[in-house]
Structure 1
């Protein structure tokens, strides 16, 4: 296992975000996708996921939409400080003077939150007016449908993944990636491989998924070709790989095959080291 700690400033929550160490061996891989994930295990931390509180994870994932972890993490911390747990002041809507709620239910607190104040709290995450409305809607849904954040957590962890995913997708502002992150990081559903922009780009660029595959088609390929126990790690490690090596505009392979640890496994769809041209894999089909 890597000596480098998993970053705490990301949606997986680092070493404190639940999960357990796992083994990854490229020599035993049955598919190219699995070999990629196993090789990522030689670069980064190695773990499976699960154990986060489901509603907190849902909120954290909404905050991360269309922004970086660096921007969304302070928003998450500020939200928890104001509305969650022992740090919550139950005067979120101006009812000052009330005592701290030592056992505050985060869904209840946010369902009662004033939208403008929540928006100010999460402003570092960007799109804060839109995200504050989505979070309040999600909190109201959890409170009405399940009664509490704790009951929602039990539903995510105990119910059939397909049922959980379907219900999450019925909530405004919750898309496939957000639903899958809740299933993975809270529910510990090992067969779930969330697809964000990094995952979508990289596995099409590698040639593992079709160049014109949408996010759901990429997810289907990865969940078919990567063993369940490695899907969660594959998601987080691929994101890290995308940031460090396989960026959208300047992938490391432009500096030569020795610059990228996946060079021998990659079809370089949409990348031309000879000319320096980089396009989305779909455009490479034109």
Structure 2
């Protein structure tokens, strides 16, 4: 396992984000997807997730859409500082109520570092209003996410404008602590197809179906966060480590290099290999 801890400021919340170290036995994997996740666990970290406040997690994930953690984390911190406390400064305010009553222009200014701040501020306010209308409070929404069947929670979240599959799955994983949930962001989508685990033309839902089928439920959480880190360090979109040195990537023997052509230096989206 890497000596470097999981980054303390990312979508999972890092070491203080509600997760705990998971028991991890790198026994012989039954699928190639599990073998990849086993190696990621040894390379980075093994954790079980859950325990975050569901509405706060939902807002955090909306802020992270189409931007990096480096850009969205300051926006999240600023949002909580402005709307996450009551008049006396206590952190007991109902964040959903505060954001439902927020002025869109003020909220947009507060989260401006996250990019697409006008669109995201509208989505956050709409989502806060939805939480109050459907559940009455952020606390009741939190209980819904943690107690109801995952399929019910996911279907309900997907009915909300601006909430897509990755956002819904992040709430299920990081707030609900649900095993077997493997959110698919751009890194996971690229890597799973590049490795050859999912078909080159699989969309995000197609990739999710494959990894949730082939990776044990207890390994999906850290498989998601560790694969993101792997995508940042090794399997980048334009310049993967294997492009110049086939031995530089810790997944080299498990990867089909779909869309990566070291002989020519060309890198394309895996789906383009079908054309």
**Fold shared, TM-score > 0.5 on shorter chain:** yes
Where does residue 266 of structure 1 map in the other structure?
Answer: 255
Q: Deviations over 1:219-271 (max 9, x none)?
A: 00000000000001111000000000000110000122210000000000000
**TM-score w.r.t. length of structure 1:** 0.94
CA contact (8 A) 1:83 1:106 kept: yes
Distance 1:276 1:10 in 2: 32
Q: Deviations over 1:104-151 (max 9, x none)?
A: 100000000000000000000000000000000010010111011000
Question: 2:163 aligned to 166, 174, 182, which one?
Answer: 174
Where does residue 14 of structure 1 map in the other structure?
Answer: 14
SS at match of 2:51: coil
Where does residue 31 of structure 1 map in the other structure?
Answer: 31
Deviation at 1:100, TM superposition (A): 4.5
Question: 1:136 aligned to 110, 115, 125, which one?
Answer: 125
Q: 5+ residue gaps in structure 2?
A: none
Q: Deviations over 1:182-209 (max 9, x none)?
A: 0000000111000000000000000000
State how 1:206-217 maps to structure 2 within 5 Å: 206-217=195-206
Where does residue 94 of structure 1 map in the other structure?
Answer: none
Distance 1:104 1:211 in 2: 46
Where does residue 96 of structure 1 map in the other structure?
Answer: none
CA contact (8 A) 1:19 1:51 kept: yes
RMSD over aligned Cα atoms: 1.2
Deviation at 1:101, TM superposition (A): 5.7
State how 1:56-71 maps to structure 2 within 5 Å: 56-71=56-71
Question: 1:226 aligned to 210, 215, 237, which one?
Answer: 215
Where does residue 81 of structure 1 map in the other structure?
Answer: 81
CA contact (8 A) 1:21 1:47 kept: yes
CA contact (8 A) 1:3 1:45 kept: no
Question: 2:183 aligned to 171, 174, 194, which one?
Answer: 194
**TM-score w.r.t. length of structure 2:** 0.97
Aligned length: 275
Distance 2:29 2:139 in 1: 38
Question: 1:241 aligned to 220, 230, 235, which one?
Answer: 230
Deviation at 1:3, TM superposition (A): 3.3
Deviation at 1:8, TM superposition (A): 1.8
SS at match of 1:135: helix
CA contact (8 A) 1:8 1:14 kept: yes
